[in-house]
Amino acid sequence: MHLSLLVLLFGGLIVAAILLKTWLSRIGIPPMIGYLALGLALRIIADQTGMLSKEGEEVVHFLAQIGVITLLFRVGLESHLSGLLKQLRSASFIWIFNIIISGAIGYAAAYYLLGLPFLSSLVIAVAMTATSVGIPAKVWSDEKKLDTPQGELFLDVAELDDVSGVVLMSLLFSILPVLQSGSGDGGLLAVTMKNLGLFVLKLVGFAGACFLFSNYLEERFTGYLRKKESGPDLMLVVAGTGVVIAAVAGLLGFSAAIGAFFAGLAFSRDPQRVKVDAAFSSIYDLFTPFFFIGIAMRMAPSAMSSSMLLALLVLLIAAVAGKIIGTCLPAWRSLGTAGALLLGVSMIPRAEITMLIMQRAHESSGGVISENIYSAMILVSAITCVTVPFLLRRKIQKLQTE
C-alpha cells in the first residue's frame, strides 16, 4: 500500500506539472511559478493530513536532485564554452560591474537593514549575483529582438552571470564549513586559504578534464554513439554520461549540480544537435519540475509572518536595485538611458541558480539561512519571474516605436 501511494504521488506530480506548464505558458507565466505553487500545496496538504511519510519526502528530494542535475546540464549545454570565451571581451565590463554591485547591495540589505549574521548575508550576496537567462530570453525571442546587437549583449551578460553564479556558489560552499567553525582569526584565515587553494586546484583539474574531453574526445564519443544508437537512445546515453560526470564532481567535493554544469559545457561543442533532441526535452520536462517542487516543499507555512514580509520587501528591493544599478551604470554610455534600462530590467529575474544557492544554504548544518529568509527569497524569485516578462515586453515594444 505504501509503495502504491508513492507511485500514485509520483504519477500525479508528473501529470500536474505538465498540465501547469501548458496552461501557464499560454498566458505568459513561467512554469516555474506553477511548480513552486505545487510544491507549497503539497507541503500544506502533507502537514495537515500526514499523508506524506518521511520516505515519501526522501523520494521527492531525490527526484529534486535529479532535477537540478538535468537543469544545470542544460544550462551548461546552452552556454557553449567557445562562444562564452568570445563574448567575454565585449560583455565582461558590464558583467563584472553588475555582479559586484548586485552582490554588494544584497549583502548590505541583509546585513545592515535586516540585521542578519555575516554568513547569511554572504549567502544572499552570492545568490543575488545570478540572473535567469531563460525567462527574459523568451520575451526577447517572442519580440523578434534576440538576434539584434542589444539582444545578443543581454544574452552574453546573462550567460556570464549564470556561469559566475555557479562558480561563486561552488566557492562559497567549499569555504562555508571553515567560516562556520569560527576559530581564531589567524587560524581561520590560514584554513580558509588552504581550502580555497584546494578548491581552485580541484576546480581547475576538473574543468580541465572536461575541456579536454570536449575538444578531443566528445566528437569521437558522440560520433561512435550515432553509429551504434539512434534518436532517443543517443540522447539517453549522453544524459547518462552527464549524470556520471555530475557524480564524479560530487565525489571530488563539489556538488553534483556543479558537475552537471561542466558536463553540459563538455557537450556544448555541438549544442544544437543535442539541445533540440526530443528525448532530452522529455527528460528535462520530466525531472526539472521536481527541483522547484522540492524547494517549495522545504518552505514552512508557519514562516509566513510580519518579519518574513519585511524581509521579502527589503530583499525584493535589493534584487531589483542591484541589477538595475549594476547593469545600467556600465551600459549607459554605449546604449543610452533607454537601452541601458532595458538591459537592466532583463537582468532582474532570479530563478534556478539563486534558488539552488538558497536551498543548499538552508540545508547546511548550523542554520545559515532561517526559514523566514529562505521563504522570503523564494518569493523574491517568484515575484521577479512573474512581473519582469510583462514589464520587459512593454519596454521592448516602446523602444521599437521610438
Name the percent of the chain lying above pLDDT 70: 87
Please give the pLDDT value at position 83: 60
Q: What integer pLDDT is reported at residue 187 of this predicted model?
A: 59
Calpha distance 267→76 (Å, rounded): 8
Summarised one tens digit per residue, pLDDT across range 55-113 is 777 888 888 888 888 887 887 777 666 666 665 666 888 999 999 999 999 999 999 99
- End-to-end Cα spacing for the chain: 64
What is the reported pLDDT for 323?
95
Three cell numbers written together for 113: 537593514
pLDDT tops 50 at residue 206 = yes
Angle, alpha carbons 289-128-135 (nearest 5°):
45
Q: What is the pLDDT of residue 129?
A: 93
Euclidean distance between CA atoms 345 and 327, whole angstroms: 9
Residue type for position 236: L
Which of 55-69, 242-256, 319-333 holds the top average pLDDT?
Answer: 319-333
Q: Buried (b) or exposed (e) across 268-300, using 16+ Cβ within 10 A? A: bbebeebbebebbeebbebbbbbbbbbbbbbbe
C-alpha 77/C-alpha 72 separation (Å) is: 8
- Span 360-373, pLDDT tens digits: 888 876 778 988 89
The most confident of 166-180, 220-234, 374-388, by mean pLDDT = 374-388
Q: Cα angle vertex 244, ends 238, 248, to 5°?
A: 145
- Tell me, what amino acid is at 345? V
Per-position DSSP letters for 116-150, written without gaps between them: --HHHHHHHHHHHH---SHHHHHHHHHTT-TTSHH
Residue where the block lists cell 512573474: 386
**Percent share of the chain, pLDDT over 90:** 19
The pLDDT assigned to 105 comes to 97
Residue 189's identity, in one-letter code, is: L
What does the DSSP 8-state code read for residue 179? H
Cα-Cα-Cα-Cα torsion 28, 354, 125, 166, nearest 10 degrees, comes to: -130
Task: Give Cβ neighbours of residue 151 (< 8 Å, ≥ 6 apart).
Answer: 140, 145
pLDDT value at 227 more than 60 = yes
pLDDT tens, 134-188? 778 878 877 878 778 888 788 788 878 877 888 888 788 878 877 777 655 555 6
Domains of the chain and CATH, by start? 2-401 (1.20.1530.20)
The whole model's pTM is what? 0.79
Q: Provide the pLDDT confidence category of residue 325 given band limits of 50, 70 and 90.
A: very high
Across all residues in the chain, what is the average pLDDT?
A: 82
pLDDT band at 218 (very low <50, low <70, confident <90, very high): confident
Pairwise CA distance, residues 191 & 340, whole Å: 42
Count CB-CB contacts under 10 A for residue 31. 20
Residue 26 has pLDDT above 60, yes or no: yes
Give the lowest-confidence range in 11-15, 233-237, 320-324, 326-330. Answer: 233-237
Contact 118, 107 (CB under 8 A): no
Query: Closest Cα to residue 386, out of 314, 301, 316?
Result: 316
33-47, 110-124, 176-190, 246-260: the lowest-pLDDT one: 176-190
Q: What is the 3-state secondary structure (H, E, C) of 209-227?
A: HHHHHHHHHHHHHHHHHHH
Task: Output DSSP code: residue 27.
Answer: T
Q: Is the pLDDT of residue 319 over 90?
A: yes
| Gyration radius (Cα) of the chain, Å | 21
pLDDT of residue 279: 63
Sign of CA dihedral 57, 59, 60, 65: positive
The reported pLDDT for the residue numbered 276 is 46
365: phi then psi, degrees, rounded to nearest 5: -70, 150
Confidence of residue 376 (pLDDT cuts 50, 70, 90): very high
